[in-house]
Structure 1
Amino acid sequence: MADDPASRPEEKSPGRKRAGAWATVLALVAALLLLVPVLLLPVSTAVPPAVWLPLLIAGLAAVVLLIARRRHARVRPLAVGAVAFCAVAAVVASQLLAETPPITDGDGRRLPGSIASLERVELNGTGQWITIRGHNTSNPVLLNLGMGGPGGGGFATRSLFEPLEQHFTVVSWDEPGTGKSYGAVPFDELDRERFVADAAALTNLLRERFGKDRIYLYGVSWSSILGIWLVQEHPELYHAFTSSGQMVNTTENDRLGYELALARLQEQGDAGGVEKLSSNGPPPYRGENVVFRYVEYLDVLNEIMGTPRLSFIVPIIPFLAPEYGLVDKVNHTFGIIRSFNAVYPKLENLDFVAQAPSLEVPVYFFVGRNDVNAMASLTEEYFNMLSAPHKELIWLEGGHGLDGSTQGQFVDVMVNRVLPAAS
């Protein structure tokens, strides 16, 4: 019996086949992109396997289904929708389950009497975030003002302070405008008065909570500026001020850095880089998005110091911090950009030689010999003229701030010189 054409399955035209293939490819790309938040959970967040593993299995199963049933048009939206659900669940879980890792003994058990807490605190009517870490809450309190910026926050450099947790209760602060405190304060309200008021409020909260008359203070780069302001206005609250990458005169510092970067590019024969810096001109910069003009020469300074470029490292750092959920990690990068744009132009007239020639607390400056971000020569000049009850300049064989190679020397001075001096 001859085939009846009417009984044959309808064949798709070549055009419809191509359209279907492209729709499958686009759906697969969308599904893989949506799977990224799930893939990030085990490597960059505190979300436990009991949560991320089912989400990963479900997401991968949806992708496999999409590939296996690629000719079935109805499968595409179902598979992409399933992966999208997993992605949303991953983001929510990362925010809700963010934590700072516990302090453990040699067997991996939580150390009795220790504290490792990620907390939201009220500072002058706004919710801001801190971590509190230490082996014993009766130890002196050290407030870490953050890793610089403005907008760097205090959580991403936790490992540098872990050796001090035996001797201090280390409190790190995500200042307003960054990380978990990203939306605490409108960016146009970020200024000296706001930062000092919030940091002083945090200091008083810690003094009351831990029963201390005074605490210790640490700042680096931008937060070293805030540290000077704090001890200048509230010396009665602090045992001592310690800093690395101490900023002194931002405009002079930046002009020296710009000239050094320009000379470096000229030596390398980098015509494009020279043209870019020359077109920007020397700092200070004003207007919108000033951060990118600063980064163009700061990247070169980091190269001189043998450290990764800021444009590379800034987006990477928050992804290593389990204290941040996935939204916080993104906000950390945006926070640095927006905080820098809002705050740094307001520092144009900063000059501690003239504005803070004397301080009423002991001062310890850790200075990298090769620091060309916060020029070591300016810090040394300020140190030499500074009047303080006690002052020390400690040279580090490094560049800007602290790193693994200088951590040991920093810890030794903090434990064996800074602590005994106040006892």
Structure 2
Amino acid sequence: MIQTTGFLILTLLAAAALAAMLIFGLQVLVACWRKKPQTKQVAHLKRAAQCLAAVCVVNLALVVFTQLTASTPPITDENGKTIKNSIAELKEVELNGRRQWISIRGWDKNKPVLLFLAGGPGGTQMAAVRHELSELEKYFVVVNWDQPGSGKSYGAEKIDKITVQTYMDDGYALTEYLKERFAQEKIYLMGESWGSALGIFLIKAFPQSYHAFIGTGQMIDFSETERLDYQKAMEIAHEKGDEKVIEKLKKNGMPPYYGDNITWKSAVYLNYLSAYMASNPAIDNPGYNTLRDIGASEYGLVDKINYVRGIINTFNNVYQQLYEIDLRTDYNKLEVPVYFFLGRHDVNAPTVLVEEYLQVLQAPEKDIIWFEHSGHSPWINERDRFVEQVISTFLAINPEA
């Protein structure tokens, strides 16, 4: 799913302002250095242009510096010393000819590998997972992947060429890379929101590569989810008398949407539902810490801008490709144990669809674990219990891990 905030829009505006300043500075320089009489006005313009050019050069150097020095913090003990045999890497890898970024973090590089699939499409959660699920790093080598069109991997592929198959091909290539690097026959897989669907796609196509899968904020039927979300937002808006929201929803009409404005139309009800969950007293620790995450050391200045571009542009291109997918009919037989970690108060990804899916799903093991004080993001809302459940669930599959 998507998440848009005023801060993210301001980031885009700041980037546009920087670009405009650079263009203006170049134009002034060209105008000033033409062969014309050296009047005081022209001299002042020259000095202003030189200062502006200097500022632009400094800004460009700052951008390059932040990109080159982006990193994930080392894993340290209580004395601040790096833990022996730990791993903390921010690494660029080539997957099917596309250069993409991953973070790899763990207290012991010999532990089982757990690959986390972020939400979106177009979302990046490297920093969010590091902060919220750091305890998992004691039991697994936790890998976060910026998928094509998101965050640090925004330019891995042209946005209009990214398809579901792109994610499947690259997800499998990354899995094989991790298996080889860490000398493991299989890895564990976890997906959040859009990543929960991608995880199902991967274990269906490549069951031999995965021990088990956990989906949270689980997506089942994309077009039906959008219709249910729209209806829920309309219901809440009527209850609260939010006429502006009602007017916007009516103007956009019932989803699914197609074309160039999917992100903005979907944002009307998705952000409204997110705000509704954030105000629900039954949900612990609601919402994302966007300012913390976008300001994290993993992202240079360009990555921070691409953090926003992925949410807007990649989501817009890819999401409309998902409307025909229904896991209840297309993915009802799997060869890998599957577990759904669901927030009892999730109004973003309707849990009734997950319950229906569980009824028809054939898998070696399957279950729903409910989080009574969570909405769409149990891994944030109840992170301590979430970590405990991940450890107990996965270790039950492979006790020797």
Q: TM tier, shorter chain?
A: 0.7 to 0.9
Q: Partners in 2 of 1:279 and 1:314 — Cα distance?
A: 31
Alignment of 1:294 with 2:269, yes or no, is no
Q: Residue 389 of structure 1 aligns to which amino acid in structure 2?
A: P
Q: Residue 137 of structure 1 aligns to which amino acid in structure 2?
A: K
Alignment of 1:327 with 2:299, yes or no, is no
Q: Residue 243 of structure 2 aligns to which amino acid in structure 1?
A: A
**What are the within-5 Å matches in structure 2 for residues 152-171 of structure 1?**
152-157=123-128, 158-171=130-143
Aligned to 2:384: 408
Residues 294, 307 of structure 2: 8 Å contact kept = no
Alignment of 1:231 with 2:214, yes or no, is no
Of the two, which has the highest radius of gyration? Answer: 1
Aligned to 1:196: 168
Name whichever of 398-407 and 339-348 sits farther off.
398-407
Residues 160, 402 of structure 1: 8 Å contact kept = no
Residues 133, 379 of structure 2: 8 Å contact kept = no
**What are the within-5 Å matches in structure 2 for residues 129-144 of structure 1?**
129-144=101-116
Mark the CA change 1:107 to 1:300 in structure 2 (over 3 Å): closer, same or farther. same
Residues 189, 213 of structure 2: 8 Å contact kept = yes
Q: Partners in 2 of 1:87 and 1:307 — Cα distance?
A: 39
Aligned to 2:393: 417
Q: Partners in 2 of 1:135 and 1:273 — Cα distance?
A: 47
Which one of the candidate residues 300, 307, 324 is aligned to 1:349? 324
Q: TM-score scaled to structure 2, two decimals? A: 0.83
Q: Partners in 2 of 1:162 and 1:294 — Cα distance?
A: 32
Question: Which 5+ residue runs of structure 2 have no aligned equivalent?
Answer: 1-13, 19-42, 281-286
Alignment of 1:103 with 2:75, yes or no, is yes
Give 1:418 deviation, angstroms: 1.6
Aligned to 2:120: 149
Q: Partners in 1 of 2:332 and 2:196 — Cα distance?
A: 15
Name whichever of 119-128 and 402-411 sits farther off.
402-411
Q: Which fold has the larger relative contact order, with Cα–Cα distance below 8 Å and residues 6 or more apart in sequence?
A: 2
Q: Residue 330 of structure 1 aligns to which amino acid in structure 2?
A: I
Sequence identity, in percent? 44
Give 1:315 deviation, angstroms: 6.8
- Considering only aligned residues, what root-mean-square deviation do their CA atoms show, in Å? 2.1
Give 1:75 deviation, angstroms: 6.2
Mark the CA change 1:338 to 1:292 in structure 2 (over 3 Å): closer, same or farther. same
Give 1:273 deviation, angstroms: 1.4
Q: Partners in 2 of 1:403 and 1:213 — Cα distance?
A: 27
Give 1:357 deviation, angstroms: 1.1
Residues 145, 153 of structure 1: 8 Å contact kept = no
Q: TM-score scaled to structure 1, two decimals? A: 0.79
Give 1:332 deviation, angstroms: 1.4
Q: Deviations over 1:27-66 (max 9, x none)?
A: xxx9xx87xxxxxxxxxxxxxxxxxxxxxxxxxxxxxxxx
Which one of the candidate residues 78, 81, 85 is aligned to 1:113? 85
Alignment of 1:90 with 2:59, yes or no, is no
Residues 112, 141 of structure 2: 8 Å contact kept = yes
Q: Partners in 2 of 1:401 and 1:97 — Cα distance?
A: 31
Residues 114, 140 of structure 2: 8 Å contact kept = yes
Give 1:256 deviation, angstroms: 0.9
Q: Partners in 1 of 2:277 and 2:151 — Cα distance?
A: 27
What stretches of structure 1 move > 6 A for 4+ residues in a row? 312-315
Which one of the candidate residues 275, 283, 286 is aligned to 1:303? 275
Q: Deviations over 1:313-365 (max 9, x none)?
A: 69746523211100111011111211111111011111111111121111111
Aligned to 1:368: 343
Mark the CA change 1:306 to 1:108 in structure 2 (over 3 Å): closer, same or farther. same
Name whichever of 312-321 and 266-275 sits farther off.
312-321
Q: Residue 415 of structure 1 aligns to which amino acid in structure 2?
A: I
Residues 248, 379 of structure 1: 8 Å contact kept = yes
Question: Which 5+ residue runs of structure 1 have no aligned equivalent?
Answer: 1-29, 35-71
Where 1:120 maps in the other structure, the secondary structure is strand
Mark the CA change 1:313 to 1:142 in structure 2 (over 3 Å): closer, same or farther. closer
Mark the CA change 1:317 to 1:349 in structure 2 (over 3 Å): closer, same or farther. farther
Q: Partners in 2 of 1:349 and 1:387 — Cα distance?
A: 21
Where 1:411 maps in the other structure, the secondary structure is helix
Name whichever of 226-235 and 268-277 sits farther off.
268-277
Q: Partners in 2 of 1:279 and 1:264 — Cα distance?
A: 17
Q: Residue 196 of structure 1 aligns to which amino acid in structure 2?
A: M
Q: Partners in 1 of 2:170 and 2:354 — Cα distance?
A: 26
**What are the within-5 Å matches in structure 2 for residues 378-389 of structure 1?**
378-389=353-364
Alignment of 1:172 with 2:144, yes or no, is yes
Give 1:76 deviation, angstroms: 4.5
Q: Partners in 2 of 1:361 and 1:144 — Cα distance?
A: 17
Q: Partners in 2 of 1:96 and 1:254 — Cα distance?
A: 40
Aligned to 2:191: 219
Q: Partners in 1 of 2:207 and 2:396 — Cα distance?
A: 19
